[in-house]
Amino acid sequence: MLKKKTVTPTEWDRILPSVVYAYNASPHAATAESPHFLVYGHDPKYPSEIIPREHLSPYHVDYDNYKTEFLSGLTLARACIAEHAEKYRATMKQQYDRCMKTAASQVFNTGDRVYMTVPSEKGKSTHPKLAFDWRGPYRVLEASSNSALITRIGANEEPARVQFDHLVKVPAGIDDTPRPSFDPCRLDNCGLSAARARSDIRDRNSSAQKWARWPMSSLERQCAISC
């Protein structure tokens, strides 16, 4: 809100009070009510709603009755807000489970073979886009409602408990061969030569495009490209 309303970035502090008021007076998706209503028990009055009156209102309310009605209404409002917030939480959980593939079909059982994702190791790689996303395979020793105790197949490692959203089942047609730890920097001679050849071609094309802008003889242009 502050970013949308600020015209001059250095004057953001001048618009901040108005933005805070608008934020507190606007209903939120999680509660369906405004923060002002949750604190004071009534909706805020905007400046445009305050119209001067010549006469006082003829309606009067007893203080004790007003207090009782106010507290009852506030209790009812908070109960409705809690119900709405629970529905909002369930909706957000469904969206997360759908995006992270943690639906009921992703439940793992004892004995299943799984791969495990390790984002931290991928981030340490020199070329993370070329690194494998999954490690394993692992064997599920025991499983709960949202996590599994796994150990690497064919290795003497301590079991680790991992959340379901970090696991994926190994297809039936794949054996227990460990996933290779591919390092893009360890290229063989053929791959390195091919990479260098492609780099030389790009450099030559770039030089040709650069020198083609200048009027020169074919011999001079050929000398410039070869250099």
Class of the 105-169 domain?
Answer: mainly beta
The pTM of this model reads 0.36
Separation between Cα atoms, residue 203 and residue 143, nearest integer Å: 55
Q: Tell me the per-residue pLDDT of 120-134, one tens digit each, with 9 for 90 and over.
A: 666 666 666 666 778
Q: Does residue 143 register a pLDDT over 70?
A: yes
Residue 149 confidence (pLDDT): 92
Going by pLDDT thresholds of 50, 70 and 90, the confidence category of residue 38 is confident
| Whether the predicted pLDDT of 90 surpasses 80 | yes
- Cis, bond preceding 180 (omega within 30 deg of 0): no
Q: Give residues with Cβ within 8 angstroms of 70, minimum separation 6.
A: 41
- Give the amino acid at 121: E
* pLDDT at site 139: 92
User: What is the token pair recorded at 163?
Assistant: 């959340």
pLDDT category at 184 given cuts 50, 70, 90 is very low
Check whether 166 has a pLDDT greater than 70.
Answer: yes
pLDDT at 211 over 50: no
- Residue-wise pLDDT for 40-88, tens only, equals 887 887 766 666 666 656 666 666 777 778 788 888 888 888 888 888 8
